[in-house]
Structure 1
Amino acid sequence: MGNPIQPSGGQANYNQTDKVESDPIKTIQSAFESELQCQICYEIFIKPIVLNCAHTFCATCIHIWTKRVNRCPVCRMNIKSKSHCLTLNVFIDKMMQFMPEDVITRRNLSIEERQKDAEEMNMNRGNTEGSDGMIGELDYFSENQDEEIDEDVIVQEADMFRMNLHDTVVSMGGLNPLIRYMLPPMGEHRL
């Protein structure tokens, strides 16, 4: 009796739809744009922030969101901690050099727009927070927090950061051994 998963010939039966897209660069670009996308603004993360529930958002997006509601936009869990995901930020910055010009331009415009909005907000409040024009670090928690942050949350945040370091890769050399074979050498092609 044959295996129900594989045909009797021993080889798996793959459809055309099961195959990875023939152009690996487009596959990587598509994955980059879909997996590294903020679920609030639907753009590639700008200054990614990881919540205690492990969902990630743009710093500005989650800051504005928590002014209204102190729950994660995805899972609705109470937000008890927020941490910068520096590894993801560096990874995105490095990968942007391989993206098409229109994606780079759109991202730069979004960053400039957010910087202008933050500067206006800081001027209206009389603050000079955030040397880069983005929302200041102490401003990530809204003033109307329901709960105090426990020491346990700080420990959990450190554990979460270690998980992000494990899951998110900073340098192209450590990206994934297989991706080296899919990406052309630096300078040859642009996505």
Structure 2
Amino acid sequence: MLFGAFANTTSHSLVRFSRATILGAAQRPLHTTRTLLQKTDPNLNWDEFFKLRRQRRLWERLAALPCALLGLGAGAAVFASLPVNPQQTFMGLDPLIVFGGATMFCGVLGFVVGPSVGRVWYRIGNSELARSLDAKEAAFFKHVKANRSDPNFSSASNPLPDFYGEKINSLEGYRRWLRKQREHERKGTFKLGGKKK
């Protein structure tokens, strides 16, 4: 009898506790945990890092063309407005050749500056991801620096492959890069145990 009353009280208190827990959980927004995790853990895994890195490079390459056209157009506008005297030469060259060369140089300069402009656009459009990408890229370059072969082993027949790891676009690419570095070391120290690719 006494045991039955105790069991009844315990079950009622458990039901009240579980009801309060469920109601409290229902009142809290479901996305808070996810957003807190995103704020407290900005680190990316390696697959996401390489994907974002490829995306940033695409932005850089796409920005090069409009910047080149802008530079070419600006150079053409400036040099076309200058007066040309056909009887006067510039360093022994015809002024039209000089102005044409300067216009082409403006286009090339725009093409060179374009990737930097694309990187800035990417950082503005994805500020949170850009910070995480920078942190992961610093860690990636530490791995590259620690695992690359000694440049002193390089020669005309044994060049150092991809010193900064710029061609690495995936984890599989990183493993290939590591194999090439080990092969470069073996060739440099006359231990030709690796297979040539």
In the superposition, the TM-score normalised over structure 2's length comes to 0.26
In the superposition, the TM-score normalised over structure 1's length comes to 0.27
> Is the strand fraction higher in 1 or 2?
1
> Is the helix fraction higher in 1 or 2?
2
Computing the radius of gyration over CA atoms, which structure comes out larger, 1 or 2?
2
